[in-house]
Amino acid sequence: MLIERADVIVTSPGRNFVTLKITTDDGVVGYGDGTLNGRELSVASYLTDHVVPLLIGRDAHAIEDTWQYLYRGAYWRRGPVTMAAIAAVDTALWDIKAKVAGLPLYQLLGGASRDRCLVYGHASGKDIPELFDSVRQHIEEGFRAIRIQTGVPGLDSVYGVASSAAAAIGDDTRYDYEPARRSALPAEESWDTRAYLRHVPSVFEAVRGEFGEDIALLHDAHHRLTPIQAAKLGKSLEPYDLFWLEDVTPAENQEALRWVRHHTTTPLAIGEVFNSVWDYQHLIREQLIDYVRSPITHAGGISSVRRIMDYAAMYQVKSGMHGPTDVSPVGLAAAVHLGLALHNFGIQEYMVHSEQTREVFGPTHEFAHGGLRPSEKPGLGIHFDEDLAAKYPYERAYLPVNRLQDGTVHDW
Ligand code: CS2
Ligand code: MG
């Protein structure tokens, strides 16, 4: 079974997505996600200009060989653009293999290790009443694990907080802080770490007081802290028993996590911007983290995330795959198939895609009892509507830039 063609489809049903469609000579079609929020066209070009010509005529079953060929063969290894492009190819080939086998993909990855994948949703509010409404809404929808983000007194807009109360309790703009914004230049936000560190513990105290001890709570610091600030935050949140504290320091420096780890027992998650097993080499071996955040879409695909997770399993580190709306329904479907099969699955991030997006990609999973189950259809279970996708052309969009109050550029 040879690869006959490969098409890169960029569509923007509410936000931009890069999808690779691979077709074999006997007409089997597989899909992969290569969306890189705010830098989508660079992956589209990497695929169209450099990868697609290499795929034509290759054995569609040779997934590992193709992965190594694209990874080692480029000479220039790793990096978000390269690894998103490889992810798209790898995922599409797994989709094809499972379709040919007539099995849902998780069966080829070892079969189900659990009934469903526990997920967490995003609750947010500019202040405590808005946040409580959003948490309540999530509990009513069936979530058992919820990420908590709030505004910080004195700051106009903060990462992770929906812009209006209506959005925070769930219409299609619920996650309006998440997609890169369609504007000529990036929006600018401002930041004050001391104000944030003073405020966050009181938010968790209020949420525990209102909603009790049972619900799993998470928080994302979005790479904004120094190691000692992060250590202080982890320590101050210990009374509220977090499921995890995410991305406390900029991700490039693995050493930073050692300082954080020495000072707090709050579980740590990191890695949504990592793209290979090497980024976790010390973090996992030295048990400096508890959860791996890499999504299939940004870390080289199913083959490569499975390698990371097998390494992590040796050190009791679990998965917590990144699942914002910038991972397309194809990437999410792949995550749920792999998550169902992995022994060391931890939790899956789940932000419901907009209705426009769901119409283009079709339903891919079932949400019940606080968790996701993948489709039982052969492959990933994607029904991509190309005609509809063509009605939503790409629109340039940027993630925001963050500045300290004196104007210094800071991590967003
Ligand atoms: C966020 C990300 O979901 C998360 O945990 O940190 O959504 C991040 O902001 C986006 O992926 C940026 O594109
Ligand atoms: Mg995050």
Q: Which ligand is nearest to the CA of 349?
A: 1
How confident is the model at residue 66, as a pLDDT? 98
Task: Report percent pLDDT > 70 for the chain.
Answer: 97
Residue 178 pLDDT > 90: no
Closest CA to ligand 1's atom 9: 178
Query: Residues spanned by CATH 3.30.390.10 within the chain?
Result: 3-103
Select which of 46, 71, 106, 159 is catalytic.
Answer: 159
Using CA atoms, how far residue 309 sits from 17, 176, 231, in Å, is: 26, 31, 26
Q: Return the best residue to mutate from 189, 272, 298, 411 for the ligand 1 pocket (most ligand atoms within 8 A of CB).
A: 272
Write the pLDDT tens digit of every residue in 339-396.
Answer: 999 999 999 999 999 999 999 999 899 999 999 999 999 999 999 999 999 999 999 9
Residue 169 pLDDT > 70: no
282 catalytically annotated: no
Instruction: Please name which of 116, 196, 205, 119 lies closest in space to residue 155, comparing C-alpha atoms.
Output: 196
How confident is the model at residue 180, as a pLDDT? 83
Homologous superfamily of the 117-378 domain (CATH): Enolase-like C-terminal domain (3.20.20.120)
Query: Residues spanned by CATH 3.20.20.120 within the chain?
Result: 117-378
List, edge to edge, every strand of the sheet that includes 17-24. Answer: 3-11, 17-24, 29-33
How far does the centroid of ligand 1 lie from the alpha carbon of residue 178, in Å?
7
Homologous superfamily of the 3-103 domain (CATH): Enolase-like, N-terminal domain (3.30.390.10)
| 409 exposure class (CB count in 10 Å sphere: 0-12, 13-18, 19+) | exposed
Counting from 1 in the atom list of ligand 1, the atom nearest the Cα of 180 is 13
| Predicted model pTM | 0.96
How confident is the model at residue 60, as a pLDDT? 98
How confident is the model at residue 244, as a pLDDT? 98
